[in-house]
Every structure is written in C-alpha cells, then in structure tokens.
Chains A and B, each alone.
Chain A
Amino acid sequence: MAVPALEVDGVRKSYGRRLVVDDMTFDIRAGELFGFVGSNGAGKTTTMRIVLGVLAPDAGEVRWLGRPVDFAARRRFGYMPEERGLYPRMKVDEHLRYLGELHGLSPAAARSAAGRWIERLELSRYASEEVQNLSLGNQQRVQLAAALVHGPTVLVLDEPFSGLDPVAVDVMRDVLAERAADGVPVLFSSHQLSLVERVCDRVGIVSDGRLIACGTVGELSEEAGRRLLVDAPEAGEDWAAGLAGVEVVRREGTRTWLRLTKGADDQRVLRAALATGPVSAFVSEHPPLTELYRDLVTGARAPGEDAGERAGAAAGAARTAGDRSGGGER
C-alpha cells in the first residue's frame, strides 16, 4: 500500500464568522494525480492556499512525509495560484529564473531549469517577451513553468486547465502526468469533470467546505450505487419492478438502465432478466463523474446530517480499495 506523501488533516479555516473549510482531511500519495472538484466557493482554493502556507489554518495541519510542513519543506512545493500570479512587465525567461532563484536554485541551475521548461512548454518564441504581451493561454503555460522551475516535490495547481485550448490542455496534462510519474504528488482543482475523470487517479469532492467524497471514480460510483445496462429484447415494461434495491432509471427500446443501491445483488437482476427470455447485454456501467458529482453535491446540501454520514462512508470506502465495479475489468 502506498504511503501517503501529503496529508491534509482536520484543517479548518474561517473568515470572520464564515466557515470556509471544515475538517478537511485527505491524503495524496507519491506519484498520484489528485483531482479536487467542487462548486465555486466550496473551499478548494482556501485548502490549497493552506497547503502552500499562504494561509494559516485555524485548526488541523498539513503533513509532508509524516512531518508537519514547515517553511523549508514548503519552499520545495510548486504552486499555481488560481488567479495568475506573475509580474506583467517581466520577461518570461527572467521571471522564471527569478522564481527559480527565490526557491533556492543557484543562478546557473535556475537558468538551465528555466530554459528547459520554456522549451518543454513550447514557449521558446516568447522567452524574451513581457508576460503581459502573451495570450492568456500562453501566460498559463508560463504559470505552469513557474510552478515547476525549481523541481518541486509537491505540485499544487489551482484550476490549471481553465482557459486552455485543446492542445494546451494536452500539454498540461502530459506534464502533470510526467511529474506524477516522477513520484511527485499532484493536487489540482478543476471544474472540467470529464477531464478530471480521465486524468486523475483519485478525486476529492468538496461541498460547503467539507470533503464529501474521496476516492477513485470507480469507488465513488460504487458508493453512489452501481448502474446496470440490461438488454433483454423480450422483457416487458416492468420486468425489474419487484427487485429489491433496484431502481429503473430509464428505458430505451429493449434496453433498460438500472441503478442498484449498495449491496444489491446484480445476479438476481440477471436471473430476473433471463426469466423474461434471452439477454443480449448485461453491462455494469460507471456513472460519469459529472453525474456522481451532481448527486453527491445536491445530496450533501439537502439534509445536513445525512451528508456527514455519506462523506464518512465515502472516505472510508476510498481507503478500502476493495472490489471495483464492473466484473469484466478485474
């Protein structure tokens, strides 16, 4: 089992009387891409700023390799703030060298690192341009280079994909994957759920300052209830009506989509389907993250009590990476 590299433990933060982050607890393992999703104002940015030490939490702590993160450890983190943080009138290469040196690189190391990232992120043409003269997408590449230039041990990126064109999204994704493959834990937030689903190892869903679910997309969907697609051509309208823990989501021609509550036996569903005649398809499906997210967030918002329990359960499931959905995948 992987050792948690970066741990956020019981972090709480309030601005005045407004509680922004409440008992935020999760961890990221070395080499893991961790996606942080949640509605605007849910507390993602605040959490990230606390991880970076830009904000001090009211309670809780952040640990790196088991030890509370101190200033020296933070200096080796890489950070991409949500709102682009660069000097508008500084030249790209100068800026990267400056940030590299501020993170403790020697001038020579900073120069070579800046040059390498400029090349890797396809910014060579703009190296001696002022940052403000670049398009927003290119500024974002510079911002990524700024987070990477000192060879960080942890990457924390706030909305790295927002405003990027498809090519830039690919470059960004590849670079993040590369860093993760090098053993760097990568935490990033995004509203592009399909992208998060494709890219991330694990996902944390935040709502109203709390982490309401955390785990792989597979685990989350398990938690939300499995979906089954059954194609039984001779079955009647309500063939699945009497089955316990099964809910018909919709029917389309001969195909039926079902939602199974946790613990419901899919084999009973199969038997019921077979009882109607031939079954040409029986597929276990993952609901996309978008759907999971909507269910979780709206569910969490309605009754407060229930939300807490679900969050706990989901977090628990995240750690027991037991049987994954969809037998075929195993």
Chain B
Amino acid sequence: MSTVARVTDGATGRDAPDGATGRDAPDGERTSASGGGTAGPQDGPGALTARRAVGLVARREINSRMRTASFVLSTLGLLLALGVYAVILLLTEDGPARVGVEREASAMRPALAAVAGKTGDFEFVTVDGDRTDRLLRDGELSAVVGTTADGRLTLSVEREADEDLLAVVRAAAAEERVTRELERAGVDPVEFRERVASATVRIDVLEPRGNGAAEQFALILSSTGLLYFFFVFYGIMLAQGVVEEKSSRVVELLLSTIRPWQLLAGKLIGVAVVGLTQLVLLGGAAAALAQGTGVLTLPAAVGGTLVTLGVWFLLGFLLFAALLAAAAARVSRQEDLQGVVQPVMLLITAPFVLGLALLSKNVHDPLIEWLSLVPPLSPILMPARTLLGVAPVWQIVLSLVLAVAALAGMTRVAGRMYANSVLRSGSRVPFAEALRLR
C-alpha cells in the first residue's frame, strides 16, 4: 500500500494562492504520527472474521448494558421484591393455631386431636376455664373448647369462629357421641370403624395434579409472567438500541466495517446474554424461595425448571427480538418506535393473555394444547404447560423443533428488513420496501 503512498509534491496543484498553510507546517508532527504508527498501513487492520465481528458487537452490548445502573438496580430491585415476598410468607405461616380445651372438657382432647391430627393445623392445650377470656383477648389462643353443665360442647372465640376448627369440633363431638352410643349398644367401636372404612371408595387419579388451584395459578402466572416480562423488557431494550444506533448515525460507521447481519446477530446475542443472566438470577432465587418455603411443588428439580425457562427464553427472545429489531430499524427516532413495534408486541401479549385465561380454567384445554405447539405462541404457552407438568415429551420436542425452524426462517426475513432499513434515515421506511429483496 505504501508504494503509492509517497507522491512527489507539486505533482498536483500545491500552488494555491495563499500557500499551503497547514500542510507543510507540522513536519515534526508528521513524523511523530507516522512514526508511532503501529496502526499505519503496514501492520494495520487485519482480516476480521464474522465470528469476531459478532463477538465484538455482543461484548459491547453486554458491557454497556450490565454496567448500567438500571441493570444493577432492576436486578437488585426484583431480588429485593422476592425477598420481601419470602419474608411475608414466612411471617404469615406461623405454625398450627393453638386451641385451648377447658379442664371440664379435657375428656374431648383425644377425640379433637385425632380428628384434627390429619391436617396438623391445630394444636390443643388444656387451660383453666376462668382464664379463657383473657387468653383469647391476648391472642394466646385462637379459640377455647369448653363444655356446658349438661355436657354440650361450647366454642369461645374472640370474634369469629374458624370454619375448619368448627368442623373439627363438630366431627369430634359426633365421633364422641357415636362411640358412646355404640358402647351402650354393645358394639366394639374399633371393629365397627374398620367395617365402615372398608365401604369407602378408592379414587384412581389418571393425571394427578400436585398443586391446589391457587398454587397452580400462581405457577402459571409466575412462569408465563416472567417470560412475558423478559420478552417485552429485553425486546424493547434491543429495539431502542437499534434506534439509538440509527439516530446517532453510529450505524453508518459500524456498517462501513461489518455486515448488517453481523451487527444484528451481535446485538441479539449480547442482549440475550444479559437477559438470560438476569432471568437465571431471578429464576434461581424464586425457585429456591418456592422450595424453601414449600409454597409450591415444582414438577421437576429446580435445575430442570430453570433450564426449561432458559431454553424458552432464548428461543422466544431471539424470535421476538429479531422481529422487534427489524421493525425498529424502520424508524430513525425513539418517538416513532412505539408505532412500529406495536404489531410485534401483540404477538407477545396475545399468547400471554390467552394462556392465562385458558390455562387457569383448565390446564388440559385442548385449544391451549394445540396452540402451545405453534410459534410464536409456544415460547409463552409451552413453558407454562411444561412447568405444570401437563405437557407430554413429544409435544415439548415438537414445539421446540417448530420454534427453532421458525427462528431460522424469521431471522432471515428480519435480517433482510434490518439491512434494508437501517441505513435509511428520515421518515419511516415503508414495510414493503423493508421487505424487498436486494
């Protein structure tokens, strides 16, 4: 290169009237600049492989995002929220309620304990009848079981009787009465119970569900909600990044040295890594919390849950974010972003709303079953079904294969839209032109 570099002065018109003001002045500087020129034409830039280009872009995305105060604060904030939630759970869950039994009624204690024993919600202690009022008002006891002169049971509470406790007391009273009547009739109560028990119905559950309805809903909400939040949050973050590059024109600088697809791929990977990091941090904390407090039973091991979420996050994020980036590349100003990303946002929001509505009614909803196989609905619906333990393996595999196929196709289209639009500043690039083959 430097063979052509030295051109004899005066070959061109160096005789401009005012003389070459700056040109011949900095002779000393010239040597310093070219002498220190490790980046000079000789040993300057080498070839840049596509992988290195993508890697450099991704690394910049990760560095610039993870080091921002907003990332640190949002992560800490979400962790803190989880922590507060955990503390509330632990505080509200203060063991079995203490129920007093007055000395006069202490004969009932074994029967009460036997009936309540199955649930473990109540603990019975014997108290003096004259202290009942004070113990109740102090909150030491939630209720006191007593007996009237004619042998009938009473239940004293401060304000309202707990339904469950009432049931327990009634059952115990009935039990007590039955036992006494049986003994009077000369029937052995133990033998009688055995005979009655053999007449019960055995229930065979084909698809057992591990959680109660409320917990199930919580699980759907947390899993789909977390994914939805991450798709939207990081998708928008990426879209804003695309517009930032376009509006600051840095994209012109970048695209004079790397290809549009390399820039897009690097950005997608970079933001995905940041999102995945936060997801794993939060998901891990949430899962540990669920296990620790025993509020939820997760279907597989915690690790498995996180892998499920992580895989679907990656697939879904890349799918949605590629579309968002392609849409965002059509505009040059952040203010215009909203309008172009709306259709893509609908694609993310629809399965979330639909999934919540249908899954909370019936986890075996056939419509959900089919919809959860098809991208772009699968990245939100399938992980929810997987976590609920209602998705057969073949469905999971099929939905993954379809999602990967869609990803391959969509990124190609999105990449083309991106490349067609990203250098056209000014007004919004028409959709048809963005899609045009070059």
CB contacts (< 8 Å) of B250 on chain A: these are 85-87
Residue B206 lies at the interface, judged by CB distance under 8 Å to chain A:
no
* Min distance, Cβ B353 to any Cβ of chain A, angstroms: 35
Residue A266 lies at the interface, judged by CB distance under 8 Å to chain B:
no
Give the size of the chain B interface in residues (CB under 8 angstroms).
59
User: When the two chains form their complex, are residues B4 and A30 in contact, meaning their CB atoms are under 8 A apart?
Assistant: yes
A-B residue pairs, 4 tightest by C-beta:
A183-B5, A216-B13, A104-B45, A151-B39
User: When the two chains form their complex, are residues A81 and B252 in contact, meaning their CB atoms are under 8 A apart?
Assistant: yes
User: When the two chains form their complex, are residues B423 and A54 in contact, meaning their CB atoms are under 8 A apart?
Assistant: yes
CB contacts (< 8 Å) of B248 on chain A: these are 83-88
User: When the two chains form their complex, are residues B47 and A182 in contact, meaning their CB atoms are under 8 A apart?
Assistant: no
Q: Is the interface of B mostly helix, strand, loop or mixed?
A: loop
Give A292-330 interface residues, CB cut-off 8 Å to B.
321, 324, 329
**Interchain CA distance A53-B213 in the complex, whole Å:** 60
Q: Which of A30, A53, A54, A217 contacts B16 (CB 8 A)?
A: A217
User: When the two chains form their complex, are residues B17 and A174 in contact, meaning their CB atoms are under 8 A apart?
Assistant: no
CB contacts (< 8 Å) of A88 on chain B: these are 244, 248
**Interchain CA distance A87-B7 in the complex, whole Å:** 37
Residue A99 lies at the interface, judged by CB distance under 8 Å to chain B:
yes
Given contacts A30-B7, A102-B254, 16 further A-B contacts (CB under 8 A): A2-B12, A52-B252, A75-B257, A87-B250, A89-B68, A99-B257, A104-B44, A105-B39, A113-B38, A150-B45, A173-B21, A175-B33, A177-B24, A181-B30, A197-B17, A324-B13
**Interchain CA distance A319-B26 in the complex, whole Å:** 29
Residue of A with least CB distance to B25: A174
Give A180-221 interface residues, CB cut-off 8 Å to B.
180-184, 197-202, 215-219
User: When the two chains form their complex, are residues A201 and B12 in contact, meaning their CB atoms are under 8 A apart?
Assistant: yes
Q: Would A31 and B5 be within 8 Å (CB), given that A52-B256, A174-B26 are in contact?
A: yes
User: When the two chains form their complex, are residues B12 and A202 in contact, meaning their CB atoms are under 8 A apart?
Assistant: yes
**Interchain CA distance A113-B53 in the complex, whole Å:** 19
User: When the two chains form their complex, are residues B39 and A182 in contact, meaning their CB atoms are under 8 A apart?
Assistant: no
* Min distance, Cβ B48 to any Cβ of chain A, angstroms: 4
Kindly supply a per-residue 1/0 record for chain B positions 1-42, scoring 1 wherever the CB is within 8 Å of any chain A CB and 0 otherwise: 110111110011111111011111110011001101111110
Residue A61 lies at the interface, judged by CB distance under 8 Å to chain B:
no
Q: Would A109 and B13 be within 8 Å (CB), given that A81-B252, A88-B248, A182-B33 are in contact?
A: no
**Interchain CA distance A217-B248 in the complex, whole Å:** 35
**Interchain CA distance A298-B10 in the complex, whole Å:** 31
**Interchain CA distance A215-B57 in the complex, whole Å:** 42
Residue B177 lies at the interface, judged by CB distance under 8 Å to chain A:
no
Residue B46 lies at the interface, judged by CB distance under 8 Å to chain A:
yes
Residue of A with least CB distance to B29: A178
CB contacts (< 8 Å) of A81 on chain B: these are 249, 252-253
